[in-house]
């Protein structure tokens, strides 16, 4: 006979999947430290906990600092008034005490960061968990619809986006509130849909057992894809940065870059469709992250709807509503983290 679930199951689930909650409600006019910590850059700002307006925004390249604690101390040293509370969105799974960034050498604990920044309270969230929590609060000026269809109210939403890796999270309505569902969806295997795609995947996979989505659908992945495309054509590719591949592909000045960018967008659309199906996301598919371009005219945004794929009788979410999120990721961290903290304080 199967054993019944432990009496602490609900509590254990909450502790595992929900971030810690900050303490006392904020005083009028109080500001908190908010940060978006990715694999390439660490962005810091102060957020007004009533209006969520940001000030003192600064960005630090992760490679130029030994730790998140060191970067935070440099940022805080330049402020006239130091905050006592913080909400930090991190590109890493939040399981256990020590947090190791997926695409960076940085690692830390909530206690070590709070101590270094002299914070009384700190809230840690997965970066795309914060993005997901921000979705219901974004105005029309912060979203641009790039696909067809209409998002169903209070239906499940998903947000994904390429940066140093690719992040994925869902947002589910409980009947009373929105609940973010963080994931490590970027590490699922990338699928081929044609012989040519299969050939490129084999070149990218090399000696590894599997090729994860984020090894292709990311900034570094675009550069890898450019080299694999050149290799498939028997051409020696020049060493290019992801931004160079994007620029050449958009301009049409480099046929290999054009081909690599087209395949990147096709795979991103297919991946978005698969994620939408997994979540049954009739509330919309939202594109955020660090490498999607700075506005609605970016090439990935323009071409993504044509790449969205859906298979089978329940494929509608994969082909329906999709939106481009406002480019200010740290704003999402402030909305997602700051609002979450205040509403549950």
pLDDT at 161: 87
Q: How many Å apart are CA 67 and CA 58, to the nearest integer?
A: 16
Return per-residue pLDDT of the chain as tens, 345 residues: 444 444 443 343 333 333 443 444 456 568 889 999 988 899 999 988 877 788 999 999 999 999 999 999 999 999 988 998 899 999 888 877 889 988 889 999 999 999 999 999 898 988 888 889 888 877 777 777 777 777 888 999 999 988 888 989 999 999 998 999 988 899 999 988 889 999 999 999 887 788 999 999 999 999 999 999 999 999 998 999 999 999 999 899 999 999 999 999 889 888 988 898 889 888 888 888 654 444 455 555 555 655 555 555 445 554 555 565 543 454 555 555 555 544 444
Which of 253-277 are b and which e, b meaning 16 or more Cβ less than 10 Å from the residue's Cβ?
Answer: ebebbbbbbebbbbbbbbbbbbbbb
Give residue 156's pLDDT.
Answer: 93
Quote the pLDDT of residue 227: 95
Identify the CA nearest to 261 among candidates 296, 288, 229: 229
pLDDT of residue 57: 92
* Rounded-to-integer distance, Cα 170 and Cα 182, Å: 7
Q: How far is the C-alpha of 221 from the C-alpha of 144, rounded, in Å?
A: 25
Write out the residue limits of the CATH 3.30.420.40 domain(s) in the chain: 9-133+332-344
Q: With H, G, I as helix, E, B as strand and everything else as coil, classify residue 115.
A: helix
Q: Say if CB 59 and CB 329 are below 8 A apart.
A: no
List Cα–Cα distances, 87 to 14, 292, 336, in angstroms.
Answer: 18, 24, 9
Burial class (CB in 10 A: 0-12, 13-18, 19+), 59: middle
- Of the CATH numbers 1.10.1060.10, 3.20.20.10, 3.40.50.620, 3.40.367.20, which one belongs to the domain with range 142-325? 3.40.367.20
Which DSSP letter does residue 293 get? -
Q: What is the CATH topology of the domain spanning 9-133+332-344?
A: Nucleotidyltransferase; domain 5 (3.30.420)
The predicted structure's pLDDT at residue 111: 94
pLDDT for 116: 95
């Amino acid at each position: 006979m199967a054993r019944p679930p432990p009496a602490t199951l609900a509590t254990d689930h909450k502790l595992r999947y929900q971030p810690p909650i900050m303490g006392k409600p904020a005083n009028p006019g109080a500001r908190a430290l908010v940060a978006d910590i990715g694999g390439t850059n660490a962005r810091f700002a102060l957020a007004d906990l009533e209006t969520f307006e940001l000030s003192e925004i600064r960005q630090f390249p992760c490679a130029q600092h030994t730790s998140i604690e060191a970067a935070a101390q440099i940022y805080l040293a330049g402020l006239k008034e130091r905050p006592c509370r913080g909400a930090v969105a991190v590109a890493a799974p939040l399981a256990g005490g020590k947090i190791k960034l997926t695409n960076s050498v940085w690692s830390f604990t909530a206690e070590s960061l709070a101590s270094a920044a002299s914070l009384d309270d700190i809230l840690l969230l997965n970066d795309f968990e914060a993005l997901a929590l921000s979705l219901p609060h974004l105005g029309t000026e912060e979203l641009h619809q790039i696909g067809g269809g209409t998002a169903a109210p209070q239906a499940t939403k998903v947000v994904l986006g390429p940066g140093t890796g690719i992040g994925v999270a869902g947002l589910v309505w409980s009947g009373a509130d929105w609940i973010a569902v963080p994931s490590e969806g970027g590490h699922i295997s990338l699928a081929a849909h044609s012989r040519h795609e299969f050939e490129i995947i084999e070149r990218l996979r090399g000696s590894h057992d599997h090729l994860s989505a984020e090894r292709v659908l990311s900034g570094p992945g675009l550069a890898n894809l450019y080299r694999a495309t050149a290799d498939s054509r028997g051409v020696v590719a020049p060493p290019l940065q992801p931004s160079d591949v994007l620029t050449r592909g958009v301009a049409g000045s480099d046929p290999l870059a054009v081909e690599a960018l087209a395949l990147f967008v096709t795979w991103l659309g297919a991946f978005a469709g698969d994620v939408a199906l997994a979540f049954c996301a009739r509330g919309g598919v939202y594109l955020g992250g660090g490498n999607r371009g700075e506005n609605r005219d970016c090439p990935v945004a323009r071409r993504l709807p044509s790449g969205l794929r859906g298979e089978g009788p329940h494929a509608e979410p994969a082909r329906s509503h999709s939106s481009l999120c406002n480019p200010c990721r740290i704003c999402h961290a402030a909305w997602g983290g700051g609002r979450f903290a205040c509403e549950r304080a």
